[in-house]
Structure formats: structure tokens, C-alpha cells
Amino acid sequence: MFKHVLFLSFLLFLCGCKEQKKDSSLLQTPINSSSITYAKGFTIEYKASGITIIKVLSPWPNAEATYTYALIPKENLGLITLNKDEFDAIIMVPIENVVVTSTTHIPALEELGVLDKLIGFPDTKFISSKAARARIENGQIKELGVNESLNTEAVLALQPKMVVGFTINGGNSAYETLQRSNIPVIYNGDWVEETPLGKAEWIKFFAPFFDKIEEANTFFENIELSYLNAKELAATVTVKPTVLSGALYKDVWYLPGGKSWAANFLKDANADYLWNNNPDNGSLSLSWESVLDIAKNAEYWIGPAQFDSYQEMELSSKHYLQFDAYKRRKIFTTANTMGDTGGTLYYELAPQRPDLVLKDLIHILHPGLLPNYEPFFFKPLL
């Protein structure tokens, strides 16, 4: 069952309504827009009045709904009055504590130095961060059930100032219960982003809630520079190795669409991902025969889903043995760095550290370009 959960997490990383509110008069005041370069799913605007407006434009794939949040500095309490009907939530900042619901939210809190504000999380066993695990063991981060059916009683007992949630379709009765109890739920759509730097830029989404804007900007600038330098290095290679990805699950082969987050990594690593002409930004569901037809001779196999070894793959399906990458032992898994509870750190940290992912891939696909580099996320399948 644990491996099935890991597999579903893997699929999310391959991809991966309500009526819009009318603008208030405050939205017409002079603004300073935060520089969001790569992320498509949110915007930040700083108002002359001191208010920060965050708009989430893509909370889930193909969403028609958008969400608008107003952040008011605590020192302006009583000086600014907003019409609550014009916003999905009004938050006093910096916030004192928070509940988040995805492991991808943990690295942002840790990097911004506000992990101590995290007081609850659903399915804490999936958290791999050593600092967060220490706080879980000390009872400082409470177990809150499962995201899809969040334990609302446990959340209400904590009385968090904010819950950062995510949803695949906008429907979550637990979130609705919390909102009726005056606990704001803020939607985070980082997982919908297609590009590696787009996902990483969501650290800027968290920053205004904690008054950590400069820290987030500095961190992202360093990640951006590291990523672009690695991409430029990969572009110097003239021969692109062919790449296969994914694996079978219940007779269906899931692999990244040609415009997905995972496919964009391979593109920037200057590899020939064999489905790079596909227009989908999520995962593809194919028959093993169609995959074999295209990728039988692929030189590399990156990301064989939940498998840890060649023996395990063979026991699962003899079909894998027909691929050259299997025969030549050129399969690489993301299980190089594991958490204390057996979770794969890749699913938690990779969105925030795309530079490490890209360097790992360059090291694998273009031997010699990074001769002294030690891969962080990826390793050869055993």
C-alpha cells in the first residue's frame, strides 16, 4: 500500500468554482508588482496602503476559479477596512502559526526560517525533512489525518492562523468546514506549474505571509542562476541521448507528457525525451506495447516509478526485460536521498531545488560534463 502511495505521488510530479470577486477600490491604488518571472499560477501586488494582494490563478489543472487574498500588516490593524466579500481571505501578517498540507510546502518554510511556525500536517509520516521530523517527534507538529479527509476537529483544536491547502478539483469538505469556522484556507498551486523554475518560484508565494520577501527573492535568484548555468553547460553537447521514463501500473504505462515538469527537465538537460513532441503537460496513460514500439532502444530510463531494483522490476513484469535500457543497466531512480521514515526526498525537495535535479540529470546523461559532481536525488537502479 505504501508503494502505491509513492506511485501516486510520482504521478503527481509527472504532471504533475466559484465566481471571481469584483475588484475593490483598494485594487485601484498605486501598486508595486512583485517580479514573478517563471511561475504562471500566482501574482503578488504590493499596495501603497501597505496591503499585499496575492492572486492564485491556477489552483488546479484547467481551473476556472481564481482566488484573491489580502494580507494586512498587523501594525495597520484598525487603520484599514476591507470588504470581506471581495476577497477569499483576509490575513493579518506576519502570521504566528500555520498548517500546510503538502510535503512540497515544507522546504519553503524551512528555507525561509519559519519552520517553527508549522503546527500541524496531514500524514506526517511522509515528511522527510530532518528538522521537521525532529519537531514531529517533539510534538511540535501535530498529526492531522489525511489531506483528502483532513481531521477538522484536530485542526480546529490547534486554531491555526492559516491553512495552506491544495486540491485536484476544488472540492474539499474539510476545507469548507474550516472556512466556516473562520480559519482561512489558502490554495497553493505549485504542483500545477510546468517548468522547473516555475515550481521553484512559489517560495515567493509563502514569503509575504511571514515577512520574508527579501529572503525568498535572494534564495530564488541563487537557484535561478545555478539552474541556468547548468542548462547552458548542457547545451554545449551536440549529441542528445534518448530517454524513456515511467513504468507500468495495473497494465497502464504512466509517463510524463511532453510539456510536463519532468519532460522540461530532460529538455533543459539537452536530452531527447522520446515523447517531447507530445502536447500534454500532465502524465500519459499508454499501453506497454506502444511504449516498447517507441522506446525499445532508448539509451536511458529515468524515473522507473516505485521500483528499487532490476529484480523487483522483473518480478513485476517481464515486459521490462525487452527494453535496451534495462538490458544495459541504464535505469536511474530518484531514491538516492531518503528520509528517516523511508520517504523519497525527491518528492519533497525537488520542486524547490530544480538546479540539483538538472545537475543530476546532466551528470547521468552527459558523462564528463560534471566530472566531480555527486548526484543528490538520482542513483543507478540496483
More confident: 20 or 277: 277
Quote the percentage of the chain above a pLDDT of 90.
81
217 and 258, same domain (yes or no) = no
Coil, helix or strand for 86?
helix
- Give the separation between CA 282 and CA 50, rounded to whole angstroms: 38
The reply to whether 167 and 108 lie within a common domain is: yes
Q: What's the structural domain count of the chain? A: 2
Q: Are residues 41 and 185 in the same domain?
A: yes
**Res 196 pLDDT > 90:** yes
Q: What per-residue confidence (pLDDT) applies to 290?
A: 98
- Tens-digit pLDDT profile for residues 199-247: 999 999 999 999 999 999 999 999 999 999 999 999 999 999 999 999 9
Last residue of a domain, one of 224, 243, 271: 224
Q: Indicate if the alpha-carbon torsion angle 336, 338, 344, 345 is positive or negative.
A: negative
DSSP letter for each residue of 118-143: EEEESSGGG---HHHHHHHHTTSSEE
Of 164, 167, 166, 141, the residue nearest 154 (C-alpha): 141
Residue 138 pLDDT > 50: yes
Domain enclosing residue 273, as ranges: 235-380
pLDDT tens digit sequence for 264-277: 999 999 999 999 99
What is the percent of the chain with per-residue pLDDT over 70, rounded to a whole number? 91
Partnered with residue 46 across adjacent β-strands are: 32, 52
Helices (H) and strands (E) in the chain — how many of each? Answer: 14, 20
230 located within any domain: no
Domain assignment present for residue 13? The answer is no
Nearest-angstrom CA–CA distance, 104 and 107: 6
In a domain, 28, yes or no: yes
**Do residues 272 and 248 touch, judged by C-beta distance below 8 A?**
no
pLDDT score recorded for residue 11: 47
Answer yes or no: is 14 within a domain: no
The pLDDT assigned to 351 comes to 97
User: Do 275 and 298 fall within a single domain?
Assistant: yes
Report the pLDDT value the prediction gives residue 341, as an integer from 0 to 100: 82
Query: Terminal CA-to-CA distance of the chain, rounded, Å?
Result: 22
DSSP notation for 295-319: HTT-SEEE--TT---HHHHHHH-GG
Q: Which of 26-35, 116-125, 170-179 has the lowest mean pLDDT?
A: 26-35
Query: Rounded to whole angstroms, what are the CA distances from 274 to 13, 31, 144, 365?
Result: 18, 45, 41, 14
Q: Per-residue confidence at 23, pLDDT binned at 50, 70, 90?
A: very low
Q: At 245, which CATH number?
A: 3.40.50.1980
Shared domain for 316 and 209, answered yes or no, is no
**For residue 239, how many other CB atoms are within 10 A of its CB?**
7
The residue with greater pLDDT, 190 or 339, is 190
Same domain, yes or no: 302 and 251: yes
Tens-place pLDDT, residues 55-90: 999 999 999 999 999 999 998 877 777 888 899 999
Asked if residue 109 is part of any domain, the answer here is yes
Residues 310 and 252 placed together within one structural domain of the fold: yes
Q: Are residues 37 and 147 in the same domain?
A: yes
| 271 and 203 in a common domain | no
| Cα 83 to Cα 23, 27, 69, 76, 179, distances in angstroms | 10, 12, 12, 16, 17
User: Beta strand 300-302 with 283-286: parallel, antiparallel or unpaired?
Assistant: unpaired
Please indicate, yes or no, whether residues 312 and 347 belong to a single structural domain of this protein.
yes
Residue 229: inside a domain? no
Provide the pLDDT for residue 353: 98
| 55 and 188 part of one domain | yes
Whether 146 and 23 map to the same domain: the answer is: yes
Q: Name the pairing type of β-strands 149-150 and 145-146.
A: antiparallel
Question: Which of 224, 255, 287 is a domain's end point?
Answer: 224
12 assigned to some structural domain: no
Q: Confirm whether 296 is domain-assigned.
A: yes
Last residue of a domain, one of 176, 194, 224: 224
Per-residue pLDDT, 32: 57
Mean pLDDT over residues 45-54, rounded?
Answer: 91
